[in-house]
Structure 1
Amino acid sequence: METKNSFSARLLFTSNLAIFTIGLGFAVRAAIADDLRVKIFNVIDAAQSATMVGQALGMTFLGFAFTLLIGSSLVDILGSKRILIFSALSNLLGSLLVLWASIRPVDASSYTIVLIGLMLTGLGWGGVEGAVNPLVVSIDPENKIKRLNILHAWWPAGIVFGGLFSIAVKTFGLPWQTNLVVLCLPAFAIIMLVRGQVFPVTERVAQGVSYADMCRELYRRPQFLIFLCCMWLTTSSELAPGQWVDLTLSHTVGMSGIFILIYVSTLMFVMRHFAGPIAHRLSSIGLLWVSSLLAAIGLFALSRANSPVTAVLAATIWGAGVCFMWPTMLAVVSERFVRGGALAMGLMGFTGGMAIQFLLPALGKIFDDAKNLAAGGADKLATLSAEQSTQVIQIASRESFQAIALVPLILLPIFAAIWLHDRSQNKKMAAQSALSS
C-alpha cells in the first residue's frame, strides 16, 4: 500500500518535472529568438523584425497569463491532473506549429503561425503554474516559502538544460529547429506520469472555504492590489531580461547571451534551495527588498557590460537579485491571503504574464527605433556593410537593455514601506502579548 510520504514524493516529482519543462521552453524561446528574427521576420519586414520578435515572445506570456487566470479559477473543479495534461498537449502542439512555420516557405502567414504556436506554448506554461503551485502548497501548507522556492528551482534547471542543448545544436551544426524538437519529449513524460496518480484537494477546499469567500478575500482587501502591482514589476525584472539576453547581449559582450542565461539559471537553482533560512532571517518582504536592490544594480551593470568578465559579474548580481522574486511573491500572497487560495496565486501569475506581454514588444520597438536611427533611417539598413550593421545592432541592443534597468528601482520604496509596517505591527503584537501575560 502506498504511504502518504511516497504519495507526496510522486506528486512533488511530477510537479518538479512540469516546472522543469516550462523552464526548458523559456530557454528554447530565448535561443531561437534571433533565428526567428533573421530567418523569418527579416524576410517579412527587416525594419520591424525585432518588434515582431517581441510581439511573438509576448504572445507566449499572453497565453501564459490567460491560462493561469482561468486555470487557477477552475483548478478546484477541473483538478490539477486535467490541467497538467492540457498543458503538455499545448506545449507539444505549439512547438510543432513553430517548427512548421520555420520549414515552409516564408510568407505573411508565417508570422501568424509563429504567434499561434508560441501562444500555445504559453497556454501550456500557464497551465503548469496554475496546477502545481496550489498542489505543492496543499502538500505542505506550513512551509510555503521553502516549498515554492524549491519547486521553482526546477525552472532554472530547465533553462540550464535548454541553454546547454541550444549550444550543442550550434556546436554540431544542427538546424536551429532542433531546439523545438526537445520540447516535445517532457510533454509525453508528464502525460505518462500523471496517469494513475491521485491528486489532493487544494488548501482552500481542505479548509472548507467557499468559492465566494475566496473571491471576497481578495476584493475586500485592497492590500492585494499592491502585491499585484509589485508582481508586475518583479516579473518584468526577471523574465523580460531573461528572454532578451541572447538577442541583445550576444552583440555587446563578446559572448553568446545564452551563456549568461545558463550561468544565472544555475545560480538560481542553487540559491532557491536556501530561500527558507534567508527569509527567516530577513522576513519575506525584507528578502524581496534586498532582491529588488540587487536586481536594479545587476541590470544596470549588464546594460553597460562590454566584455565576458563584466557580463558575468553583472549577471551574478542580477541573478542573486531576481532569484527569489517569483516564488517568494507567490508565497507571500498565499500566507497573507490564505482564503484567497489558488485564485490569489493565479491572479499574481496572470499579472506577471501580462506585464511581459506588454514589455517585450516595447523592448522590440526600442530596439528597432534605435537600430533605424543609428542606420540613418529604415531605408538604409539594406545598404549597410557587415561592420556597420554590427555596430548598429550593438547600439540597439544596449539601448533596449538599458530600458529594463529602471524597473526594480520602483519596487524599493514599496517593499520598504511594507517591511517597516510589518515590523511596527510585530512590535505592537509583542508588546500586547507581554502586557496580557
Structure 2
Amino acid sequence: MTQIHTSKLFWASCLALLVTSLSFGIRAGMMNQLAIDFHLSATQLGTITATAFWGFPLAIVIGGFIVDLIGMKRLLVMAFIFHLVGIALTIFAQGYWTLFFSTLLIGIANGTVEAACNPLIATLYPNNKTTRLNYFHLWFPGGIVIGTLLVTLFIYLGLGWKLQVAMMIIPTLVYGYLFSKLDFPVTERVSSGYTSSDMYKAVLSPLFIFMFVCMFGTAITELFTGQWIGLLLKNVTDNAILLLTLTTGIMVIGRGFAEPVVHRLAPQGVLLLSAIFAAAGLYMLSTFSGNSVFFAAIIFGIGVCYFWPTMIGFVAENIPKSGALGLNLMGGAGMFAVSIYTIFMGSFYDNLIVKHLPDGTTLESATTATENSSAALALAEAKNLAGPEVLQATLVIPIVLIIAFGGLVIYMRSRNKQSVNSDSYQRA
C-alpha cells in the first residue's frame, strides 16, 4: 500500500505554482524591454502575452478531462517538460514568433500545473478546501512579487532579461524532482464514487454555469490588470512595476489569512466584498497620480486577493460532483477570457495612443523617433493619457460582478435556509 505524504505533496504543488507565477511576474517586468529589443508594438506585445493565456485554458481543460484517467502525477511530469522547453526557447528567442511559441509552451505548462494541483489540493484537504486552495494560490502572487523584485534588482545591476528568465529553471528542476519521488492519491470524485455522468450533469447545472461566466470577470479584473499595470501606468509613476509588487504583496498576506475570512463570510460573501474593493481600486488606479497610486494599488490588491482561489473553492465545496473537470473548467474559463480581452485591449490601447497623438503623427513614426524628439515626447504624453483610459474601460467588469455576487449571496442564503428547514423536518 502506497503512503500519501500530504504535506510534501502540498509544498511541491506550491513550488510548481511558484514557477507559474514567476513566469507572469518576470514577463510583466520585461515587457518594455522586449518591445525595445524586438521592435514590437503594443498589439504584438498583447498577442505574445495572450499566448500564455491561450496555452493555459487549453492545458487545464484537456487536463480536466483526462486527469482521472492518467492520474495527477503524469500531468505534473508533462508540466515539468513544458516548463523547461518554454523557458529555454524564451532565453534563445530571436523575434516575435519565437517569443510567441515559447510563451505558449509556458502557458501550457502553467495550465497543466493547475489541472493537476487544484484537484490534488481538494483531495488532500476535503474538509477545508477553500482555505487550503487560498494557501496554495498565495504562491501565485508570491511568485509575482519575487519575479518583479528580481526584475527590479537585475535592471539595477544591469543584468538582461534572459538571465531573469533563466532563474525560473531552478524551482522547475526542484518541483520536477519532488513530484517524481512522491505517490499520489486518486481524485476526490473517484474516491467518493461519483460517476462520470454525475460529473457532466454537475457542470451543466445553472449554479456551475453562473460561476463559470463570473470567472471571466474575476480573472480579467485580476490578471489583465496585473500583467499590464507596468505598461499602462509607467508614465503616471516612476515605479510602475512596483505597483504590481505592492498589489501582489497584499494578495499574499490576504490569502495567508484566508481561514478566518472564509469561515466568517462564506465563499460567496468573500466574493461580493472582493468585487466591491476591486472596483474601487481600479477606479483609483485610473484616476490617481503620483504616490497616491500606491494607495490605490493596496485597495485593488485587497479586492482581487481572494478571487481566483475562492471561485474554485466555491465550486469544490458547493458542486463537488463536478470533480476535477469542474475545477479545471473554471480555471480554463478565466484564462481564456483574459487571453481574448488582452488581445482586444492591446489594439484598443494602440488606438487610444493614436487618438492622443498630434495630427499628422503616426504610431510607427512616434515609436521609432529619437529620444527627446517632439514625436517621442508626444508619444509619452499619449501613453500617459491612454493607460488610465484602458483601466477605466475595464472598471465596468467588477461593477457587474458586484451585482452578480450580491445575487449569489441572496441565493445561497435562501438555499442554506431551505437545507436547514429540510433537516429539521426530517428529524421531526
User: TM over 0.5, yes or no?
Assistant: yes
Which residues of structure 1 form unaligned runs of 5+?
43-48, 105-109
1:321-353 Cα deviation digits (max 9, x unpaired): 100000000011111211110000010011001
Which amino acid in 2 is paired with 1:80?
A: M
Cα-Cα RMSD: 1.8
**Secondary structure of the equivalent of 2:143?**
helix
**Secondary structure of the equivalent of 1:53?**
helix
Query: Following TM superposition, by how much is the alpha carbon of 1:432 offset from its aligned partner in structure 2, in angstroms?
Result: 4.8
In 2, the alpha carbon distance for the partners of 1:427 and 1:22 equals 40
Match among 91, 94, 98 for residue 99 of structure 1: 91
In 2, the alpha carbon distance for the partners of 1:283 and 1:182 equals 38
1:47-85 Cα deviation digits (max 9, x unpaired): xx0011111100100000100000111111222222112
Query: Following TM superposition, by how much is the alpha carbon of 1:409 offset from its aligned partner in structure 2, in angstroms?
Result: 0.6
In 2, the alpha carbon distance for the partners of 1:373 and 1:314 equals 27
Alignment match, 2:32: 34
Alignment match, 1:270: 253
Using a 3 Å threshold, how does the CA distance of structure 1 residues 432 and 67 change in structure 2: closer, same or farther? closer
Which amino acid in 1 is paired with 2:134?
A: N
Alignment match, 1:301: 284
Q: Report if aligned partners of 1:59, 1:122 keep a CA contact under 8 Å in 2.
A: yes
Moved more, 403-412 or 319-328: 403-412
In 2, the alpha carbon distance for the partners of 1:193 and 1:426 equals 41
Alignment match, 2:356: 374
Match among 382, 395, 404 for residue 392 of structure 1: 382
Match among 15, 18, 21 for residue 17 of structure 1: 15
1:381-421 Cα deviation digits (max 9, x unpaired): 24544432321221222222222222111111111111112
Which residues of structure 2 form unaligned runs of 5+?
none
In 2, the alpha carbon distance for the partners of 1:126 and 1:31 equals 21
State the identity as a percent: 32
In 2, the alpha carbon distance for the partners of 1:147 and 1:17 equals 15
Q: Report if aligned partners of 1:63, 1:121 keep a CA contact under 8 Å in 2.
A: yes
Structure 1 residue 327 corresponds to structure 2 residue 309: yes
Query: Following TM superposition, by how much is the alpha carbon of 1:434 offset from its aligned partner in structure 2, in angstroms?
Result: 4.9
Match among 374, 387, 406 for residue 396 of structure 2: 406
Q: Report if aligned partners of 1:134, 1:341 keep a CA contact under 8 Å in 2.
A: yes
Alignment match, 2:225: 241
Query: Following TM superposition, by how much is the alpha carbon of 1:380 offset from its aligned partner in structure 2, in angstroms?
Result: 4.7
In 2, the alpha carbon distance for the partners of 1:423 and 1:122 equals 38
Q: Report if aligned partners of 2:202, 2:208 keep a CA contact under 8 Å in 1.
A: no
Alignment match, 1:427: 417
TM-score by length of 2: 0.94
In 2, the alpha carbon distance for the partners of 1:250 and 1:191 equals 36
In 1, the alpha carbon distance for the partners of 2:10 and 2:207 equals 31
In 2, the alpha carbon distance for the partners of 1:362 and 1:277 equals 38
Which amino acid in 2 is paired with 1:417?
A: G
In 2, the alpha carbon distance for the partners of 1:302 and 1:294 equals 12
**Secondary structure of the equivalent of 2:39?**
helix
Structure 1 residue 357 corresponds to structure 2 residue 349: no
Structure 1 residue 177 corresponds to structure 2 residue 159: no
Which amino acid in 1 is paired with 2:66?
A: L
**Secondary structure of the equivalent of 1:209?**
coil
Alignment match, 2:292: 310
Which amino acid in 2 is paired with 1:332?
A: F
In 2, the alpha carbon distance for the partners of 1:129 and 1:2 equals 24
In 2, the alpha carbon distance for the partners of 1:274 and 1:405 equals 27
Alignment match, 1:139: 124
Alignment match, 1:60: 52
Match among 62, 78, 90 for residue 70 of structure 2: 78
Query: Following TM superposition, by how much is the alpha carbon of 1:41 offset from its aligned partner in structure 2, in angstroms?
Result: 3.4
Alignment match, 1:196: 181
